[in-house]
Amino acid sequence: MDVRVYRSAEEASSAAAAHIAALVARKHEAVLGLATGDTPLLLYRQLIALVRSGGLDLSRTTTFNLDEYVGLSGDDPRSYGHYMRTNLFDPVGIDLARTHVPDGLAPDVEAECEAYEHAIAAAGGIDLQVLGIGADGHVGFNEPTSSLGSRTRIKTLTRRTRADNARFFESPDDVPLHVLTMGIGTILDSREVLLLAFGDGKADAVARTIEGPVGAIVPASALQLHRNVRVLLDDGAASRLALRAYYDEVAANLPP
Ligand code: F6R
C-alpha cells in the first residue's frame, strides 16, 4: 500500500482532491466511487472549490456511493442520498442522473443490490473508489466478519457503528439496523482506491488494516490484496503504525 501521512486532514484532503482532479482531467468520463460520513467532507469541499475555480469539470463523471440506510428515503435529511446532494452533488451542479446511491426503500432488496452491481458494470466499473474507515475496520458498511468476496447486499450494523453514527439521529436506537452496501469484492474490483482516515480514533483500525494480517475481522485489511491503494492519513490516524518512519521515507523519495 502507498501510505502518505500529512500534517493535517486539510492537507490530506487537498492531496486527495488534486489526485481526483488529475484523474478526471485524463478521463473526463471517470466513474467515481464515493463515501459519506465525516471523513470525506473536507475532500468534497475541496472538489467544490476546484469546480468553482474551473480546475475540475465533473459534468461527465458518473458516481456510485458505497451505501445507504434501509428504511430511509433519499430525501430524508439523515440519508446518505441527502448527504451527497448537500455536500457535493448540488454544489457542483452534477446531473443527478449520473449519480447513484442504493435505494434504502427498495421493495425488493435483492433485486436492488443486483441492479446496483449491474449499473456499476454497465458504467465500465469504478475507476477510483473513495473510502473512509470505521473504528472497527469496516469499509462501506462491511462490518467485521463480512465476506472478503462480498457484493452489494443488505448488512446489519454493529452496536458500535450505530453508536458512532448516532450523532445524526436522536439516539443510537434510532440509527437503522440495516444498510445496503457495496461488498468488499465490489470495492476490490475498483481500479484504484483512496482510503482516508483522520484522528486518533481511527489509529488502531488503520494499523490493523495496513500492517495486520488480512482477515474478515478487519474488513479493510482486504485492501492489502488490491494493487493500487493509497492511504491518506493525518498524524493521529497514523499514530499506531509500526513502520511510520519507513512510509515517510518512501513518500519523500518516490522512485522516478
Ligand atoms: C460511509 C461509509 C463508512 C464510513 C465510516 C467512517 O459511506 O461507508 O464506511 O466511511 O463509517 O465514518 P466517518 O468518516 O464518519 O468516521
Bridge partners (DSSP) of residue 86 are none
User: Read out DSSP for 188-230?
Assistant: HTSS-EEEEE-SGGGHHHHHHHHHS--BTTBGGGGGGG-SSEE
Query: Does ligand 1 come within 6 angstroms of the Cβ of 146?
Result: no
For 89-135, write each residue's pLDDT tens digit. Answer: 999 999 999 999 999 999 999 999 999 999 999 999 999 999 999 99
Distances from the Cα of 242 to the Cαs of 104, 203, 204, in angstroms? 40, 11, 11
pLDDT (0 to 100) of residue 210: 98
Q: Hunting for cell 473508489 — which residue is that?
A: 129
Q: Which of 13, 32, 34, 36 maximizes ligand 1 atoms within 8 Å of its Cβ, making it the mutation to test the pocket?
A: 36
Interval between CA 219 and ligand 1 midpoint (Å): 13
If one counts every other C-beta atom within 10 angstroms of the C-beta of residue 174, the result is 11
222: how many CB neighbours lie within 10 A of its CB?
24
Dist. CA 253 → ligand 1 center (Å): 31
Whether 33 lines ligand 1, by a CB cut-off of 6 Å, is: no
User: Rounded distance, CA 39 to CA 54, Å?
Assistant: 24
Which residue CA neighbors atom 11 of ligand 1 most closely?
Answer: 134
β partners of residue 154: 180
Amino acid (one-letter) located at 130: V
Residue among 123, 103, 105 at smallest CA distance from 113: 103
- Give this prediction's pTM: 0.98
- The pLDDT, as a whole number, for residue 89 is 98
Q: Tell me, what DSSP letter sits at residue 142?
A: B
pLDDT digits (tens, 9 = 90+) for 40-98: 999 999 999 999 999 999 999 999 999 999 999 999 999 999 999 999 999 999 999 99
| 37 in contact with ligand 1, CB cutoff 6 A | yes
**Does the beta carbon of 151 sit less than 6 angstroms from any atom of ligand 1?**
no
Of 148, 152, 155, the residue nearest 223 (C-alpha): 148
Is residue 221 within 8 A of residue 137, CB to CB? The reply is yes
Q: Rounded to an integer, what distance in angstroms lies between the CA atom of residue 137 and that of residue 206?
A: 7
